[in-house]
Amino acid sequence: MGVVYRATDLQTKRLVVLKLVRDDPDETLLSDRFKRGTRILLSLNHPAISRAEGCGRAGDYHYVVMRDLPGISVFDALNTRLRFPGMLAARLVASLCDGLTYLHSSGVVHRDVKPGNVILTGPRGAESLVLIDFDLAKHSTPNLEDSGRFSRNMLLNRLSTAGCLSGTPIYMSSERLRGEAASPEADVYAAALVLYQMICGDLPTGGEAHRSIAALLSARVVPVPPPSEWGVSLAPQLERVLLKALSPTQSERYPSAAAFASNLRRSVRLRAPTPLPFRLDIPSGQSA
């Protein structure tokens, strides 16, 4: 979408995150989506959602300024640490679902929930998750011009962005892969996949299933392997919650982020807090 820098605010002397997108007449879709995502982000205020502090235009570039979060992405953590303790992962994803609940109640869907867009933050990174990157976010009301549906005819003719499958396919539900528009339920499904990956160290589908939409959709119609097949010993109640959230049948999943978060917290309520299995040695006010 654009280029991201760490920068210094010359007035406050604080570190910030600066994202730039070139205003290219041949790529109006990019700048239009960026401006829409920026407007959405500026309207939001929740601890589990990245906070935008300002936006504007400088020369040929649109920009947005965001707070610099102390922490690392779940993607980076998984690349170096492989797995999270189940109880800790459940607590963290429950905090992410709090942000999704707020987002969905504001009439917005994120459309790209994945480990690279989720930051571990708080003391030693073990306190909460924060959702970032709202470039694909949109209001959940139907909009033919940017529905997130996949339409081969619209794609080939480039009549509108309705021909684009907006998001990251390996974190999409079967409904989205079949062509349904993005919905709050799709964000919840993606959050459940993030939880599965944090616990098991990988997604439930094998590498071959990532190579095409057809193969990925085929893998979505069967139950996901339980964590025990990855050699993970998980509390039975937490495993039930996770597998329900990833059911191949949409009607069997949790209907909302709030319901998913509530069941996650209930599954770990009687367990002692679990610390991160590693330390995040991050200077105050900086991101890793």
CA dihedral 202, 207, 212, 216 (to 10 degrees): -50
Least confident of 42-46, 192-196, 271-275: 271-275
Q: Where are the alpha helices (DSSP H) in the chain?
A: 28-42, 74-81, 86-105, 152-157, 174-178, 184-200, 213-220, 236-245, 257-268
Strands 138-139, 128-131: pairing is unpaired
**pLDDT tens-digit readout, 148-206:** 544 444 444 444 444 456 788 899 999 998 888 889 999 999 999 999 999 999 898 86
Which domains are assigned to the chain? 3-67 (3.30.200.20), 71-268 (1.10.510.10)
CB 194 within 8 A of CB 96: yes
Mean pLDDT in residue range 86-100: 95
